[in-house]
Structure 1
């Protein structure tokens, strides 16, 4: 936990509606504040990039394969995601990157509020690039090139964060009225504080897109993607097959390209990464295209449209794969058509 308060005496000034973040040295001290207070350990939370599988410098010019595969370019004559605000809770973003010159708002650095949310890891810049890169001359084009990324730096240079950081990040997104929150991270255990603030964002009309995790599990996904208020995302490869590392099954709402994805990187570079993190950014971009055209849609309506407009996945060459395959891959063109054109 990165302390928001020095002790419990200051908690009443917190702007969080239902969650308080403060160090507690004596649990008995809590009983002075409420009879029904809920206390939980500030658990760690991890990014969903399978860097051990694929992470290497790369180069690109134009439209990456994942953006093409979900047919985003076929929507650009109708919508480019113009003015849709996307909160990316991550490691920050590279504000000097040519791909993102017109794609980044100020955002917030929760680790040092006096500084811009500069990316000292790379993961957040990669996510931002897939969603909103707009460099057709010497870089890449993201799914929704005229959407606006609000980087919310909650993860440090090692890609580490705590639930308290995420709670503060989501709360900031609610107060700043973003349209979509991209959450390319997760943990194995549930958190009431996290669920409360996710529900608050959902009730505020924010679409929450979350990665399912990289454990290759068939019947389980990470939190917060497992919360029903989110759109949970698994990863596919170029053959529209579920990536080997991706969690899958009934808890996954939609799949998207997440294997060997090249996107923007720190120091103005490009990088190839794999993970359900990368898949989630494709889904956030596709939803931005839809919302720019149909701004009145609710999170529940968008989730229904996303699930209804997928294209079938291809089974791997095993005898039982066809019986177990569930869900489909996001298709930006079908999503727009389902939403009313």
Structure 2
């Protein structure tokens, strides 16, 4: 005699033509099986299969979660990697021996794509129950490309296929994917899908990851409503990501709410597609891998970091938007690790190589700020002083005025600075020293 206890399904979180995707009725349930020898296991079975069983105890429906992404015709240079300041962590983690792994539980990955060469580790296909999680959709490959572009070469990608070619997947497959990722060495897990129903079975798998020190990064969803209506976006133990556009505004499609932790670029993001191509897509699905990629580099730099450590660092290095401090749109702000200055390798590797002498960090700098820099010797026409002002990896235009008599120069941005944003002011003196000041603007 076999005894069963039941199971539930999921949606991918990009926006396809901006159309919302909601939970669908499932045709499967999750059951616990006890065989003649008394061995127990949990299975997902079709509803019609239950009728032939003599004893059935239902755990839960095997809910369907789905992806929903927006395909764009825009073909501009992708901007998200620069906006989150990824090059800062790349410069720190590139020299590190060893690797860290981010698992993408999604539609699989086209692991033959040139962008992903030498970045893939073994994964699994829970749809076909084999070890070749090839992407026949496109969603997972697009996410993998974002991570590849955002991280150093020693960050590896574990493709796990739990979402089918229609962009839908059962909770049972997703939960099995999470457990597989943890058991096979994943350091961070990326979940870019959503569903309406709370799933204890999926929640147990997420808790399994967190209890083993594996952060889980989740897309907020693209229905333009509150995350409290969706799971796992309503889970308070994971890192939930909303999406922003190039103007640092919240994306029109992004879900928001009390569970939002941070935000990241999610509009017009160019990344890899199956068949060795590229395309521009939008969605919180696209915002999530920027954050999971940074989280994986933070784990690579210091593998002893806990889930709480990663959460704290991601929330610390942000550009505050919306209301001051946390708010339900941006969370703590748009992730930006440009000014990252802690960890095992910063002092040994990065600071020594840049050779900058730091000025004291400044806070609440006015948006129309100018800087007067005084030297300890008389300037001459032959002195060469160069200034560079950076927001993330992007240079901000400035004008430089010299006052030789007063031994000073005046640095003026050509326009207003952005509010609550981190900048780096670099000063290069020929035949002298180089200086750096990090500052954060006020409201």
Q: How high is the TM-score relative to the length of structure 2?
A: 0.64
2:91 is aligned to 77
Aligned partner of 2:232 in structure 1 is 224
Match of residue 66, structure 2, among 19, 42, 46: 46
Which residue in the other structure is 1:332 paired with?
337
Show the 5 A alignment for 1:24-43.
Answer: 25-26=50-51, 29-30=55-56, 39-43=59-63
Rate the CA distance shift 1:129–1:221 in 2: closer, same or farther, 3 A.
Answer: farther
Contact 2:89-2:294 at 8 Å conserved across structures: no
Equivalent residue for 1:117, pick from 122, 133, 138: 133
Evaluate the alpha carbon distance shift between residue 324 and residue 302 of structure 1 in structure 2; reply closer, same or farther with a 3 A threshold: closer
Structure with the bigger percentage of strand: 2
Aligned ranges 1:126-145 → 2 under 5 Å: 126-132=142-148, 141-145=149-153
> 1:199 offset after TM fit, Å?
0.4
Q: Which residue of 2 aligns with 1:55?
A: 72
Query: Is the contact made by 1:235 and 1:242 (CA closer than 8 Å) also made in structure 2?
Result: yes
Shift of 1:339: 5.0
Q: Secondary structure of the equivalent of 1:130?
A: helix
Residue of structure 2 equivalent to 1:8: 33
Provide the residue aligned with 1:154 in structure 2: 162
Q: Following the alignment from structure 2 to structure 1, what is the Cα–Cα distance between the partners of residues 171 and 67?
A: 12
Contact 1:131 1:285 in 2 (8 A): yes
- Aligned partner of 2:298 in structure 1 is 290
Contact 1:59 1:271 in 2 (8 A): no
Contact 1:310–1:329 (CA under 8 A) maintained in structure 2: yes
The Cα offsets for residues 236-267 of structure 1, whole Å up to 9 and x where unpaired, read as: 11111111111123210000000110001110
Aligned counterpart, 2:44:
21
Aligned partners of 2:260 and 2:328 also within 8 Å: no
Find the residue that maps to 1:267 and give its secondary structure: coil
C-alpha displacement of 1:308: 2.2
Given candidates 198, 205, 221, the residue that maps to 1:197 is: 205
Query: Could you tell me how far apart the structure 2 residues matched to 1:84 and 1:324 are?
Result: 30
Matched, 1:66 2:80: yes
Decide whether the 8 Å contact of 1:209 with 1:225 is kept in 2.
no
Listed one character per residue, the Cα deviations across residues 275-321 of structure 1 (whole Å, up to 9, x for unaligned) are 00000000011111211111111112211221222111258xxxxxx
Q: 1:86 touches 1:181 (CA, 8 Å); kept in 2? A: yes
**Do 1:154 and 1:165's aligned partners in 2 also have CA atoms closer than 8 Å?**
yes
The 1:273–1:292 alpha-carbon spacing in structure 2 relative to 1, beyond 3 Å, is: same
Name the CA shift for 1:57/1:304 in 2 (closer, same or farther; >3 Å): same
Return the index of the structure with the highest Cα Rg. Answer: 2
Q: Which runs of 5+ in 1 are unaligned?
A: 32-37, 133-140, 316-321
- Cα drift, residue 74 of structure 1: 2.5
Alignment of 1:170 with 2:178, yes or no, is yes
User: Where is the helix percentage greater, Structure 1 or Structure 2?
Assistant: 1
Higher-RCO chain (CA-CA 8 Å, sequence separation at least 6): 1
Report the CA distance between 1:325 and its aligned residue: 6.5
Do the aligned residues in 1 keep the contact of 2:122 with 2:131 (CA within 8 Å)?
A: no
TM-score between both structures, scaled by the size of structure 1? 0.82
Give RMSD over aligned pairs: 2.9
Q: How many residues align?
A: 310
Alpha-carbon separation, structure 2, partners of 1:214 and 1:177:
30
**1:221–1:300 CA distance, 2 compared to 1 (3 A):** farther
Choose the corresponding residue for 1:89, options 102, 105, 128: 105
Task: Check if 1:245 corresponds to 2:253.
Answer: yes
Q: CA deviation at 1:9?
A: 4.7
Q: d(CA) in 1 for partners of 2:225 and 2:68?
A: 14
The worse-fitting range, judged by mean Cα deviation, of 3-12 and 239-248 is 3-12
Cα deviation for residue 90 of structure 1 reads 0.5
Displacement, 1:58?
4.5
Q: Which runs of 5+ in 2 are unaligned?
A: 1-8, 10-26, 347-443
Q: Is the 8 A contact 1:305 1:338 kept in 2?
A: no
